[in-house]
Structure 1
Amino acid sequence: MSKLWGGRFSCDTSSILAELNCSLPVDSRLFAVDIDASKVYAEALSKAGILTASECSAIQKGLELVRYDWIEGLIEFKPTDEDVHTVNERRLTELIGDIAQKLHTGRSRNDQVITDMKLWMRKAIREILQTLRMVMEAIIGLAEKYPNVMMPGYTHMQRAQPVHFAHWILSHGFALKEDCARFIELKDRMNVLPLGSGAIAGNPLNVDRVFMQKELGFDGLTQNSMHAVGDRDFVIDFIYNASLASLHMSRLSEDLIIFASREFNFVRISDAFCTGSSLMPQKRNPDSLELVRGISGEIFSCLTGIMMTVKGTPSTYNKDLQFDKKYCFTAFDQLEKLLKVTEGVLRTLDVNIDRMESCLSPDMLATDWSYYLVRKGIPFRKAHHLIGQVVQLAEERNLELTEVPLEDLQTICPLFDIDIGKVANFHQIAETYNVIGGTSSNSIEKQLNVLKDFSCQIKKLQ
């Protein structure tokens, strides 16, 4: 079979260009959605009187035979094959004859490929949502397994305030919730059909675009054919969402790597997700999480690549856009791997409760000592300053905050009384943070319910 476009050319394509022009190593994974869209387009051509009912039936049955060949590994690529669309049409022609050459009437690979990408992306988003859900459920499981464990909370990598371990791990769960919301929003927003846009001008054959929209499960139609064939914003959005999700997993990985170090020893990563050293026999390296950090960088590079590709193109379709699939598929594949590894780490994670709680130190009570004075009527800014003086005094005398004698506290502020001793129990202090989103047990229970409900909603999207 000759090339789809070769009629006006006087010589063969350069072998170097032919190799560069061939996108089959990347876009062959679109074979199924390309067949789905082609079957509907054949029916639309039949409704428009371009195909007879028997021709439409032959094409649709032939396309199913092409699908079978792909699934069974019977498809063989030929030198004239440029992309998945060429292969499908060429193989269809081999199976049913010249009738197959009517299928492309009024259709361009410009509107064909972007339709295929949107069909593929709908399924990809569904899969990503379920993988995100599994990581979220692993986080929920950890929070439920260790509901009352206290740990130091950190800002600037310095001990800040006492928090529940569950509060910390759920913070990463809520990042995942936002990732899911972004993918759901994209799935709804990108679900408009470009098929029928032709190369740039539309379709002159009275093809029923509304019919195709409904048959292919789209919510609407693109309203400008030139914009439709050149639009890759939805691809950029997809890769951006993947980048942000991987960023969140990279930050979680960084926390866990630090917490798993001997210096912290808060958690232990399962041997199944660690590797050793070729030189040092004692090593247990958290390579799984380090690879998560590394993979996130690869996904970010896809975002940079697609944005720089689109940035330099004039309006409508340009061959540069062929690279959208490489960036999009790489981001998808790597995000799936990254999420599954993270889920495995979380489901097998052990928490060193004694070590975590032993690292709670009296200096972390400073904020709550400020609140102690606030409750006695002192403005917070003044209370903050007074407790700063207490901290300085404790440091000068090499004392813990709770070891400063009451009489010395009273020289700084006469409102200090014996009841300051009650502001020393980390568990009790945590329970005072009973605001929505706080670290109290009651608040954490509400957080768990929010994530559980959301997880159930995501599960229903399968």
Structure 2
Amino acid sequence: MTEKQTWSQRFESALHPAIARFNASISFDIELIEYDITGSQAHAKMLAHTGIISHEEGEALFNGLERVRQEYRQGQFQPGVDAEDVHFAVEKRLTEIVGDVGKKLHTARSRNDQVGTDTRLYLRDQIQQIRQQLRDFQTVLVDIAEKNVETLIPGYTHLQRAQPVSLAHHLLAYFQMAQRDWERLEDVCKRVNISPLGCGALAGTTFPIDRHYTANLLHFDNVYANSLDGVSDRDFAIEFLCAASIIMVHLSRLSEEVILWASEEFRFVTLKDSCATGSSIMPQKKNPDVPELVRGKTGRVFGHLQAMLVIMKGLPLAYNKDLQEDKEGIFDSVNTVKACLEAMTILLQEGLEFRHQRLATAVTEDFANATDVADYLAARGVPFREAYNIVGKVVKTSIAAGKLLKDLQLEEWQQIHPAFAADIYEAITPRQVVAARNSYGGTGFVQVRQALLNARTQLIVK
């Protein structure tokens, strides 16, 4: 049988070994150990500050906890399943170091507010790391975009050729997605950065604690106003998982495009050897493993969000053991998002090369300039819907004749409508088609250059 735990005077025997293993969370919540130590040090300082324990006892607890931290970092402290969770593990080792005063650490708190504090400290730290990774990702997008303002690429709707756009404009769309992700995480952090420490098990404590003191020590912005809510709230975790899922949506969309662009059918990019793999049987293959993995890993983050929602939907107040299930999903989502951001940033920076000649050819081999023909007529007084129908017929007859719009003779244009003149040829060149879309936020080169300046300015904001 396993060793009795700290509540064992209420019980006549210890947990069954299998139940002890089932109940234990030390295998994954060890991830929180340094945050647990930091939170416990603040709690010890508060106990001394309020006179609940002596200053000497508070100092002994603080220094003992720092020793536990160093032992863990040096690999000397590696608690096993008998510890049940990281909180008991730290407290037990602390008591071994400082003696009975270590048993005073848990005065005026519960594991319920303790784990809530640890999780928030962890997530606050991880959010800032992810936000920095988003900045790195955005920087690479801008770097590539600045070199490709006048590089044209087919734009698509319904995965059908629509209108040509600046490649920089296309890449800056992902910059804007990442910018929203960066801002969204900042907003999520407002709800993460609220301290539940001092809420106790569910109802607060009889001791004269100072919750704002510990909140200030731990750099929380505020404290929970309701102790029941403080120990049972996981809205912040749901919000983070939602934000993480949206980040993965954006990375997955870019991944899908890279996969298409690298295919023989598109041939818009070439994958470099540093970010591609081969086939075990087909020697000619070069596979886009990085974007495929990112696309695949997106589902697991979605799954963690769904799991967290299902965990919370039926829980009565206050704390329930179900909430132990929040951590693995949070930890895995953090690790997955960070790994995918790193991989996609490397892929963009080092792993692919745009095939400029192929792109230049691609924007000349379709009818993506048809809207510009309609706009040409509309600018000369023809109602747009009438112009639209005229051009639709022109496209139909051109396809039947095996021609593109640029292949029509001026006489043919003027037979279609007398408003056409020799300048129609310039108006429908891919470069002019793109340059002409100079409305705010459009793909026109003037707008794209301004968007790049704006993006560089946004990157300065920390």
In the alignment, which residue of structure 2 is the partner of 1:307? 309
Structure 2 CA distance for partners of 1:167 and 1:78, relative to 1, 3 Å: closer
Q: In terms of mean alpha carbon deviation, does 407-416 or 111-120 score higher?
A: 407-416
| Secondary structure class of the residue paired with 1:153 | strand
Q: In the alignment, which of 250, 254, 260 is matched to residue 262 of structure 2?
A: 260
Indicate conservation of the 8 Å contact 2:61/2:98, yes or no: yes
CA drift of 1:163 comes to 0.7
Letter in 2 for 1:60: F
In the alignment, which residue of structure 2 is the partner of 1:232? 234
* Whole-angstrom distance in 2 between the partners of 1:121 and 1:417: 63
* Whole-angstrom distance in 2 between the partners of 1:60 and 1:419: 80
* Whole-angstrom distance in 1 between the partners of 2:217 and 2:78: 30
* Whole-angstrom distance in 2 between the partners of 1:4 and 1:433: 71
Letter in 1 for 2:362: C
- Report sequence identity in percent: 38
* Whole-angstrom distance in 1 between the partners of 2:101 and 2:175: 54
CA drift of 1:2 comes to 4.5
1:368 aligns with 2:372: yes
Letter in 1 for 2:247: A
In the alignment, which residue of structure 2 is the partner of 1:443? 447
> Scaled by the length of structure 2, what TM-score is found?
0.96
Q: In the alignment, which of 113, 125, 128 is matched to residue 126 of structure 1?
A: 128
Q: Deviations over 1:247-298 (max 9, x none)?
A: 1111101101111111211111111111111111111111111111111112
CA drift of 1:411 comes to 4.4
In the alignment, which residue of structure 1 is the partner of 2:381? 377
Letter in 2 for 1:172: Y
1:339 aligns with 2:345: no
1:104 aligns with 2:124: no
CA drift of 1:380 comes to 2.0
1:112-151 residue pairs with structure 2 within 5 A?
112-151=114-153
Q: In the alignment, which of 415, 419, 425 is matched to residue 429 of structure 2?
A: 425
CA drift of 1:408 comes to 4.1
Structure 2 CA distance for partners of 1:388 and 1:62, relative to 1, 3 Å: same
- Could you list the runs of 5+ residues in structure 1 that have no partner in the other structure? none
| Secondary structure class of the residue paired with 1:151 | strand
| Secondary structure class of the residue paired with 1:13 | coil
* Whole-angstrom distance in 2 between the partners of 1:230 and 1:381: 59
What do you get for the CA RMSD once the two structures are aligned?
1.5
| Secondary structure class of the residue paired with 1:31 | helix
CA drift of 1:145 comes to 2.2
Indicate conservation of the 8 Å contact 1:430/1:439, yes or no: yes
CA drift of 1:123 comes to 0.7
- Could you list the runs of 5+ residues in structure 2 that have no partner in the other structure? none
1:352 aligns with 2:349: no
CA drift of 1:440 comes to 1.5
| Secondary structure class of the residue paired with 2:287 | coil
Give the count of matched residue pairs: 458
Indicate conservation of the 8 Å contact 1:63/1:92, yes or no: yes
Q: In the alignment, which of 272, 275, 282 is matched to residue 274 of structure 2?
A: 272
Letter in 2 for 1:390: V
* Whole-angstrom distance in 2 between the partners of 1:367 and 1:386: 11
In the alignment, which residue of structure 2 is the partner of 1:195? 197
Letter in 2 for 1:223: A
CA drift of 1:6 comes to 2.1
In the alignment, which residue of structure 2 is the partner of 1:286? 288
Structure 2 CA distance for partners of 1:124 and 1:173, relative to 1, 3 Å: same
> Scaled by the length of structure 1, what TM-score is found?
0.96
1:457 aligns with 2:448: no
* Whole-angstrom distance in 1 between the partners of 2:336 and 2:12: 43
CA drift of 1:427 comes to 1.3
* Whole-angstrom distance in 2 between the partners of 1:410 and 1:4: 93
Indicate conservation of the 8 Å contact 1:362/1:424, yes or no: no
Q: In terms of mean alpha carbon deviation, does 152-161 or 77-86 score higher?
A: 77-86
* Whole-angstrom distance in 1 between the partners of 2:324 and 2:152: 52
Letter in 1 for 2:76: L
